[in-house]
Amino acid sequence: MFSLIPPNHLARRQSFRTLVNRALQRGQVLVLPQGLGAGGGFFFGNAELLLIAFGPDAAKRIQQRRESAERSANRFKVLSDPTRSILLSRVTHGPMSITELADYFELAQPTVSVHIKMLREAGLLESARSGTHTLYSARRERLQEFIEEGLSELLFEDPSG
């Protein structure tokens, strides 16, 4: 019977194994593939029957969750380095060039350049030319959006279960 149920279904969780096995022994389990009509699944039981239903796209939902988790991890990876975080924090208070940031934090310019590039590619920095320098700045609102978007990806809500 378990071979019929997708590996990620609630009915396969260890915490429900006893309930499912008892219902199986009593012949009180009904397994319903939901066909083409629905992609979700459910698990319902009462004193007389245990109903286990699932849709055809369980593997698709797992893939969507993985992709969402990957996007979330990539966002937070940008913020996970202390040097990038402190550079980002500094340019939220006003624009600075790579040279100014390197001097301010006593870092090598190539180090600052690498971190600024990652922050810029993540969409967290704005740049403006000032003579021969490029000044970088960050908007607090954009940083907040970036974090919230990562959190939304992490807490991926799958409406079908």
DSSP letters of 104-137?
HHT--HHHHHHHHHHHHHTT--EEEEETTEEEEE
Residue 21 domain-assigned? yes
- Taking the whole predicted model, whether its pTM rises above 0.75 is answered as no
**Structural domain contains residue 86:** yes
Q: Are residues 40 and 101 in the same domain?
A: no
Is the pLDDT score of 108 beyond 90? yes
User: Per residue in 110-122, pLDDT tens?
Assistant: 999 999 999 999 9
Residues 131 and 66 in one domain: yes
47-85 confidence digits (pLDDT tens): 777 777 776 666 677 788 889 899 999 999 999 999 999
Residue 70, domain extent? 61-154
Per-residue b or e along 125-149, where b marks 16 or more CB atoms closer than 10 Å to that residue's CB: beeeeeeeeebbebeeeebeebeee
Same domain, 10 and 49: yes
CATH number at residue 137: 1.10.10.10
Distance CA 87, CA 136 (A): 10
Domain count within the chain: 2
User: Domain check: are 52 and 108 in the same one?
Assistant: no
Edge to edge, the sheet with strand 133-137 lists 96-97, 133-137, 126-130
